[in-house]
Amino acid sequence: MTTFMNQDFLLKTEAAKKLYHGHAAKMPIIDYHCHINPMEIYEDKRYATITEVWLGGDHYKWRAMRSCGVPEYYITGDATPAEKFQKWGEAMPMLIGNPLYHWTHLELQRYFGITEPLTGENAMEIFEKCNAILAQPDMSVRGIIRKSNVKLICTTDDPVDDLRAHELLAQDPTAPAVVLPAFRPDKAMRADKETFPTYVDQLEQVVGYGINTVADMRQALNDRIAYFADHGCCVSDHALDYCFCVEADEATLDNIFARAKSGQSITWDEQLAYHTALLLSVGKEYAKRGWVTQFHFGCLRDNSKTMFRKLGPDTGFDSMNDAANGVGLSKLLNALEEAGALGKTILYSLNPCDNGIIGTLMGAFQTDSAIPGKIQQGSAWWFNDHKIGMEEQMKSLMSLGAMGTFNGMLTDSRSFLSYTRHEYFRRIMCNLFGQLVEDGEYPADWAYLGKMVENISYNNTKTYFGFDKYLK
């Protein structure tokens, strides 16, 4: 019987162990998509308890606790940090096979030196041990980043953000890593939302002029793209419920925008037409600047309206949608290509059923480009970043694309302890590669295999995103 989560965790063959320990483990981390607050890096935030860093905003854990019958009082309610951690400890043994079980124990091992499994019986003992270690000087946010060997971080930022934290970090010679913004203009593109008029007002204040037509909105977003570029940004991110492409003439678009800005309702087809127009517009600007575009799609958000009214968004009530809409994705990619707006693009679907759609469609648009893997399938995302999901995504990519060009893992997290997800991914990847070698499906060319593992872990990301100028 294998020891619980030992040094060879998830590595089933000698080839896998050779690749992981000799290559993957030593590579630094580039976390090119996350949701951490950059000001917390600048201010070097400290945590009073492990509950704060683990359970303070982690809707992954909140969902699991609810599934284990934990009352909301101990999840997002007014229970004490100790009480909340106790309930998390009691839930832990029930999560066999869940990535949260692995992530929790990887974090306990790597940051706190705790190798015993967390349970309800030892929760308070582990709570006190973790809190004592968090009080040590090197366990601030900056200390955690350094311990994790993180070299560059891209946060997620709205066009109206002033990027003050990024300015401060760029001027700080003691910053633990390069921290760059990523452009996330979803709020400017969702004219169907009740908050849209207020958001347009905010954007007008930031750009310093009125936004009364779609042409004005295009200009406003281009101006903010230029501002973000001046702060080192080279990547955008777009959340789509599903993929679509609905084109309309300018007069129709202006009519849609005027009604939405005044607070009137618009139809879903009108929303898609407006959204398509802006995706094509910003796509041209991204391509011109050599930025990377990320499309995240396939999420059905805020399913429980009862809990949405109580807790708001991003609290653990989202799910997979049933399909990405392959026809819509094809039309969108084609429209971007026809408009000269299809630059480096990463496609993520929340539904693993879409792996084959992405794998085959991206192959249809790897056209006339010197960039290896110009169109990428993103790593297994959100509900898929577990062992089975990662294996399925990588097996599909190996079957339909060029695995050697893959950009590897990201955290997509709000927690500074989540960098162990990169280790988790690398172990799973090395195990897949190792098994191919053991089975005689790939030669035991250790130099080439080792280099490919290092590239997927770090080097491909550095080159694809253009981070070379920051990371020598």
pLDDT more than 70, % of the chain: 100
User: Whose structure tokens read 């630059």?
Assistant: 343
Neighbour order of strands in the sheet with 375-377? 235-240, 292-297, 344-349, 375-377
State pTM to two decimals. 0.96
Mean pLDDT confidence for 395-422: 96
Handedness of CA 442, 447, 450, 452 (dihedral sign): negative
Largest CA distance in the chain: 69
**DSSP letter at 351?**
S
Distance of alpha carbon 245 from alpha carbon 257, whole angstroms: 17
Q: Is the pLDDT of residue 435 over 90?
A: yes
Q: Do 119 and 92 contact (CB within 8 A), yes or no?
A: yes
Structure confidence at residue 368 (pLDDT)? 82
Average pLDDT in the chain? 97
Distance of alpha carbon 134 from alpha carbon 84, whole angstroms: 17
Structure confidence at residue 369 (pLDDT)? 84
The string of pLDDT tens digits covering residues 10-60 is 999 999 999 999 999 999 999 999 999 999 999 999 999 999 999 998 999
3-class SS shares of the chain: helix, strand, coil, % to 5: 55, 10, 40
The string of pLDDT tens digits covering residues 120-162 is 999 999 999 999 999 999 999 999 999 999 999 999 999 999 9
Per-residue pLDDT band for 83 (boundaries 50, 70, 90) equals very high
Q: Which two tokens stand for residue 206?
A: 């930031």
Vertex 399: Cα angle to 396 and 402 (nearest 5): 100
Who contacts 217 (Cβ-Cβ below 8 Å, separation ≥6)? Answer: 188, 200, 211, 257, 278
Q: Is the pLDDT of residue 367 over 90?
A: no
pLDDT more than 90, % of the chain: 97
The string of pLDDT tens digits covering residues 170-204 is 999 999 999 999 999 999 999 999 999 999 999 99
Structure confidence at residue 322 (pLDDT)? 87
Q: Do 185 and 236 contact (CB within 8 A), yes or no?
A: yes
Q: Is the pLDDT of residue 260 over 80?
A: yes
Mean pLDDT confidence for 85-114: 98
Distance of alpha carbon 18 from alpha carbon 455, whole angstroms: 16
Strand 344-349 to 292-297 pairing: parallel
Q: Is the pLDDT of residue 278 over 90?
A: yes
